[in-house]
């Protein structure tokens, strides 16, 4: 019988840039991650407490754990499944690191053999869902949205044209993505990401109305995402079912759990 929170062991930790680290993991036991997920597929993970090397998976699997739980809740966070390999036995999760927050600080010290918990119930979950007729895609992200953006871009069909607007802390955080699609990249350097105001709303506000049926996906700080949503619906006239805008975190709020937005 499947358990709600399954263990996964760190195989490797690789720095992709000064502010992004990829943790490659393998399932411990016979459970497997989904292989049908796309784009910004969500994964909830239990994280080792500071100074520990294994997450408290057992607490999440107690019969009494759930709504109304009165005990101490071990740390857990929402992340994006960056890639899935070997029929779901192995997978990668990319962490935007920023020097604080329990997930970021664990990722910086993660080593092979560390164990996290993966909430593995139900079907795969994602926001990214372009309409079948979308010839153009506008893809927007800050550092927290880059893992999802990367998987989306890499999976684009050759017939798709895309505009990527991405905001990172420094030039060395710009990532190279391999894709079959025709993609125009607009990298914003040194803004947002906890450094100051995000430049993403202004950059999106400079985009012209696409010349073909289009779709937009946005994943960034909450206030910036709301401003971009207003622009998509107002100036660009996007229908509600032709864009998905997600606030991944909220500026000036403690911790690193993503913000909950409608």
Write out pLDDT tens, residues 150-165: 999 999 999 999 999 9
Q: Residue 198 and residue 167: Cα distance in Å, rounded?
A: 8
Q: Residue 142 and residue 27: Cα distance in Å, rounded?
A: 29
Q: Residue 229 and residue 231: Cα distance in Å, rounded?
A: 5
Q: Residue 48 and residue 7: Cα distance in Å, rounded?
A: 12
Residue-level pLDDT at 41: 96
pLDDT score of 256 more than 60: no
Confidence of residue 100 (pLDDT cuts 50, 70, 90): confident
Answer with the residue of higher pLDDT: 162 or 100: 162
Residue-level pLDDT at 260: 32
- From the list 230, 224, 215, 212, the residue with the least C-alpha distance to 248 is 224
Contact assessment for residue 194 and residue 221, using Cβ atoms and an 8 Å cutoff: no
| Long-range contacts of the stretch 168-171 (C-beta < 8 A, 24+) | 168/17, 168/19, 168/142, 168/143, 168/193, 169/18, 169/19, 169/143, 169/193, 169/195, 170/18, 170/19
pLDDT score of 261 more than 50: no
Q: Residue 9 and residue 115: Cα distance in Å, rounded?
A: 5
Which segment of 114-118, 161-165, 196-200, 251-255 scores lowest on mean pLDDT? 251-255
Q: Residue 116 and residue 118: Cα distance in Å, rounded?
A: 7
Residue-level pLDDT at 253: 64
Average pLDDT over residues 25-52: 95
pTM of the predicted model, to two decimals? Answer: 0.92
For the chain, give the percent of residues with pLDDT over 70.
95
Q: Which residue has the tokens 């950059």?
A: 203
SS3 195: coil
**Where does the chain show beta strands of DSSP type E?**
5-17, 20-27, 42-46, 76-85, 90-96, 115-119, 136-141, 161-168, 182-189, 214-221, 243-249
pLDDT digits (tens, 9 = 90+) for 207-236: 999 999 999 999 999 999 999 999 999 999
Mean pLDDT across the chain, nearest whole number?
Answer: 93
Residue-level pLDDT at 1: 55
């Amino acid at each position: 019988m499947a358990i709600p929170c399954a263990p996964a062991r760190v195989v490797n930790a690789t720095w992709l840039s000064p502010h992004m680290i990829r943790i490659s993991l393998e399932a411990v036991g016979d459970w497997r991650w989904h292989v049908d997920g796309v784009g910004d597929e969500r994964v909830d993970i239990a994280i080792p407490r500071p100074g520990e090397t294994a997450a408290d998976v057992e607490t999440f699997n107690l019969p009494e754990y759930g709504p109304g739980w009165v005990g101490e809740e071990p740390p857990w966070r929402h992340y994006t499944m960056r890639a899935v390999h070997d029929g779901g036995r192995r997978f990668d999760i990319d962490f935007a690191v920023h020097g604080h927050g329990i997930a970021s600080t664990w990722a910086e010290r993660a080593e092979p053999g560390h164990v996290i918990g993966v909430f593995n119930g139900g079907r795969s979950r994602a926001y990214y869902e372009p309409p079948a007729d979308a010839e153009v895609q506008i893809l927007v992200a800050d550092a927290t949205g880059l893992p999802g953006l990367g998987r989306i871009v890499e999976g684009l069909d050759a017939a798709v044209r895309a505009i990527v607007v991405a905001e990172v802390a420094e030039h060395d955080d710009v990532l190279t993505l391999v894709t079959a699609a025709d993609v125009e990249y607009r990298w914003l350097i040194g803004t947002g990401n906890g450094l100051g105001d995000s430049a993403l709303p202004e950059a999106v506000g400079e985009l012209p109305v696409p010349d073909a049926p289009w779709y937009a996906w946005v994943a960034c700080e909450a206030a910036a995402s709301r401003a971009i949503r207003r622009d998509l619906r107002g100036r660009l006239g996007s229908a509600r079912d032709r864009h998905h805008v997600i606030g991944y975190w909220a500026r000036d709020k403690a911790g690193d759990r993503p913000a909950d937005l409608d």
